[in-house]
Amino acid sequence: MGQVTREASADAFGQVTGRRLVQLPPTAGRTDSEVFFEALALNAPELADREDAQRLLAAYNDALARAFGARRDLLATKGRLLPGAKEALTAVARLPGVLQTVLTGTIRPNALAKLRAFGLDGLIDAEIGGFGSDVYPKGTLLQVARLRAAESHGVSLTERGTAYIGDSPRDVEAARVGGARSIAVVSGRATHAELVAAGADAVLDGLADTEAVVRTIDELTLPAVRSDTPG
């Protein structure tokens, strides 16, 4: 799926700026808006300081959604579903008092396309999620998602009762900023040791062990759920 994303990003960047995307900034744990602004600085610095940079970002997001949508048939073949991911999402969705959503730096239409490609869209509440379209850092996105969940479901969500699962040190930092427990999965470029050093509350070597995933979420959040308002 990384190849599809890179090709769509390069296509959209060229459409909006008239420049080739020669240098792609690091993307792990970052939002599409962060990546776009750094790409401007690297590939089209003369545009990076323009007052209408936000207009360029809006145009880029639209172009990125179109470019990604044109490649949606490639997602299932070029992408990879982490072993156990669907089983873990299904099991966690059955836990009492759980609200499950997605927090991602990817813009909303592209994130939903990825979920649909692997049949995961029915396992999360996308309406309360946080996406790169929101133009916030991930830590702030997490706080926004918690507010949306409270408004949508009429519950008070505690920080201790919120778990964020990611695969990069930036995801661990986002959980800390957003006031959530962090579960880091060794599925990206970061090693087990790097995720531990980043301060993750728990590190899993994968999602194939469904019972371990559920147990980890329970251990990190359930005591708070029991003593506070469900959420």
| pLDDT of 63 over the 90 cut | yes
DSSP bridge pairs for 163: 181
The mean pLDDT of 148-160, rounded to a whole number, is 87
Question: Is the pLDDT assigned to residue 229 strictly greater than 50?
Answer: no
* Contact indicator for 180, 142 with CB cutoff of 8 Å: yes
pLDDT above 80: residue 38: yes
Report H helices in the chain: 2-17, 32-43, 45-48, 53-69, 75-78, 85-93, 108-117, 138-153, 169-178, 192-197, 210-227
CA distance readout (Å), 96 to 93, 119, 230 = 8, 23, 9
Topology of domain 81-227 in CATH is Rossmann fold (3.40.50)
- pLDDT, one tens digit per residue, over 1-35 is 788 988 999 999 999 999 999 988 888 778 898 89
Q: 3-state DSSP call for residue 14?
A: helix
Query: Does residue 135 have a pLDDT over 80?
Result: no
pLDDT average, residue stretch 133-151: 86
Dist CA 63 CA 54 (whole Å) = 14
Q: Average model confidence (pLDDT) for the chain? A: 89
Its pTM stands at: 0.85
pLDDT tens sequence across 176-208: 999 999 999 999 889 999 999 999 999 999 999
Q: What is the pLDDT of residue 223?
A: 54
Amino acid, res. 5 = T
Mind listing the pLDDT tens digit for each residue in 76-120?
888 889 999 999 999 999 988 899 999 998 999 999 999 999 999
pLDDT at 96: 86
Sketch the domain layout of the chain as residue ranges.
Answer: 2-76, 81-227
